Structure 1
């Protein structure tokens, strides 16, 4: 099987960037993501099991500024010369697979980044909320696909090297035709196919928008719940919020013996009821929260029913198009089915990169005959 170099470009979530202290040093943490399970790009399918076998190798790898090249040849980001070229004090960590997608965090040492113009430009773009792309550099073997499937090759033996930070780049820092020189493990140069791919950004941006909206609604809901809890507790104790009186004459009047006795009795009654305040507050809180919890449970149930219905429809569509067997289709996630479903339309090919607006990517490569 021929080996290729693949650069998978995607968009970092700069809106979720945050600052932390690490060992007494200021760092910027920027969430990013890369390969989803079973994604098809440039006619190559990346199986979930192959991603699973190799994705953890991204943990604690450098996050250079652009893919490092020495004398026109790509090198590993961990190669000494590659480090000297692209190092801005950034690395990748917290690599994980969630919901059929690889997520990771970019950690940038702010002091080290400020020592270079490239590092300063990255920090400035993040602070301004500008688009910052990332590009995962990996090696893979291409296996020819068999049968009536919407891709020509399957990527095997994925070897992740780094996840680079890209600024002001139209492509993925590779030659226009997608073919370049790559330094192999023996330090020798060899010609190798270079494939530039870009993931759809619509799903990423929608996910982040939904997450932001959910957090905002959660904060608003909590504030509403606290107000209701406060009112319920005050009512349970026999109090109510009212505007302060503007007529101070009544307040300044002397208290008669009868009024004093009545007030003393109320204080005594309140004191006796304090022993039961725990139960009173608990009941008030439960009553205030019940409508919120019921509404949340209903929303979860409705969303699950909607997702299940959509998944059943997509499974039927994929099976009818003879793309997968029913059993295999049912094992796919909903996002994977959404990605595959456009291939089931007669005479149409799915526009994998249609939602991406980050710049012009290099054209899809063509393998020489016989590979």
Structure 2
């Protein structure tokens, strides 16, 4: 069976592009898709089982700008010369197969892309939302089929080489251009292989993406319920009401009377005054929302103080009774110090005010005559 190179063109979903940070570097990720199950292009059928066996081979392959060519002939995007010609800091990842189609993410390193004019053009197209085509370069063998109405061959042994980014590149994009030649260097010998250019009909894919986008929009709308309520409260606080715009475009309805103009002017004035107080309004709203929390915190602080005051009064009584401190000094003593003195107020543990004093039952100290007298 002969081996051929096929370039399959599809359209990237630029509207779903997103930005991320990876290893401290800025990247742009653009979803794309290729090769639906059992599609027939240029008389060749690509069976679902052949795609299922091989599609993972597209993971971490280059995403060059256009299909690299040398002397007018295609080369592998992984070939050193191919990389030099087409690399703009982009590669393919997150390759998966969903709903009978191979889906791919194009990851573009912003810093690397900005080093070349081609890479800058890709970033500009993504940022502008300009339609961007992609083209999958693959190798396969063709198995002849007899009696089929819509195809003459079946693609077998699919090998995925790359998925290129196309900007104003139609050289390998349309079925009308049909055939080119590939320089195959994988065997160490230069070999020319037939190239077939095909394009996937995009209407079905666009419908799939539209349905996915709708599903995501509905999910976001459900999650946005709380935000909508908050928005309504703020607008109400500002004296603004959301109104549905009129769809009546008749000329008679477009005229504005003096009364209507005055009413509109009054509304604008009211809106301006409300906008002037927006800071105060929002501050009041935040204060109202936080009041229960602040009240609870104040109550906790008050309860803690009352508890400390009661403990302080109790300890003052104990240290005064134990003759450790006089009442005035005890009341002025911090709670932590009174807690440290508390163990000495227990019976039998209190220290006398003057440890050198020994009582005799009278106000005068006992007389002890000198020895020898």
TM-score (norm 1): 0.59
- Aligned counterparts of 1:148 and 1:242: Cα–Cα separation in 2: 70
Matched, 1:169 2:162: no
The range that moved more, 182-191 or 58-67, is 182-191
Count residues with an aligned counterpart.
Answer: 237
Instruction: Tell me the equivalent position of 2:30.
Output: 30
Residue 226 of structure 1 deviates from its aligned partner by 7.7
**8 Å contact from structure 2 (residues 184, 193) kept in 1:** no
**8 Å contact from structure 1 (residues 64, 90) kept in 2:** yes
For structure 1, list consecutive stretches of 5 or more residues without a partner in the other structure: 229-240, 245-371
Q: Would the alpha carbon gap of residues 164 and 172 (structure 1) be closer, same or farther in structure 2, given more than 3 Å must change?
A: same
- Aligned counterparts of 1:91 and 1:243: Cα–Cα separation in 2: 50
Instruction: Tell me the equivalent position of 2:91.
Output: 91
Higher relative contact order (CA closer than 8 Å, sequence separation 6+): 1
Instruction: Tell me the equivalent position of 2:15.
Output: 15
SS at match of 1:138: strand
- Aligned counterparts of 1:41 and 1:242: Cα–Cα separation in 2: 61
Residue 177 of structure 1 deviates from its aligned partner by 4.9
Q: Would the alpha carbon gap of residues 173 and 148 (structure 1) be closer, same or farther in structure 2, given more than 3 Å must change?
A: closer
**8 Å contact from structure 2 (residues 10, 133) kept in 1:** yes
Residue 205 of structure 1 deviates from its aligned partner by 1.8
SS at match of 2:126: helix
- Aligned counterparts of 2:85 and 2:62: Cα–Cα separation in 1: 12
**8 Å contact from structure 2 (residues 142, 154) kept in 1:** yes
SS at match of 2:198: strand
| CA deviation string 1:43-80 (max 9, x = no partner) | 11001111111111110011011111122222111111
Q: Would the alpha carbon gap of residues 195 and 223 (structure 1) be closer, same or farther in structure 2, given more than 3 Å must change?
A: same
- Aligned counterparts of 1:169 and 1:72: Cα–Cα separation in 2: 14
Instruction: Tell me the equivalent position of 2:200.
Output: 199
Matched, 1:210 2:200: no
SS at match of 2:35: strand
Matched, 1:72 2:72: yes
Alignment of 1:237-256 (within 5 A): none
| CA deviation string 1:280-334 (max 9, x = no partner) | xxxxxxxxxxxxxxxxxxxxxxxxxxxxxxxxxxxxxxxxxxxxxxxxxxxxxxx
- Aligned counterparts of 1:156 and 1:242: Cα–Cα separation in 2: 67
Alignment of 1:39-118 (within 5 A): 39-118=39-118
**8 Å contact from structure 1 (residues 66, 165) kept in 2:** yes
- Aligned counterparts of 1:16 and 1:168: Cα–Cα separation in 2: 21
| CA deviation string 1:143-197 (max 9, x = no partner) | 0113344211100000100001000012426994513242231243333221111
For structure 2, list consecutive stretches of 5 or more residues without a partner in the other structure: 230-235, 240-373
- Aligned counterparts of 1:123 and 1:214: Cα–Cα separation in 2: 28
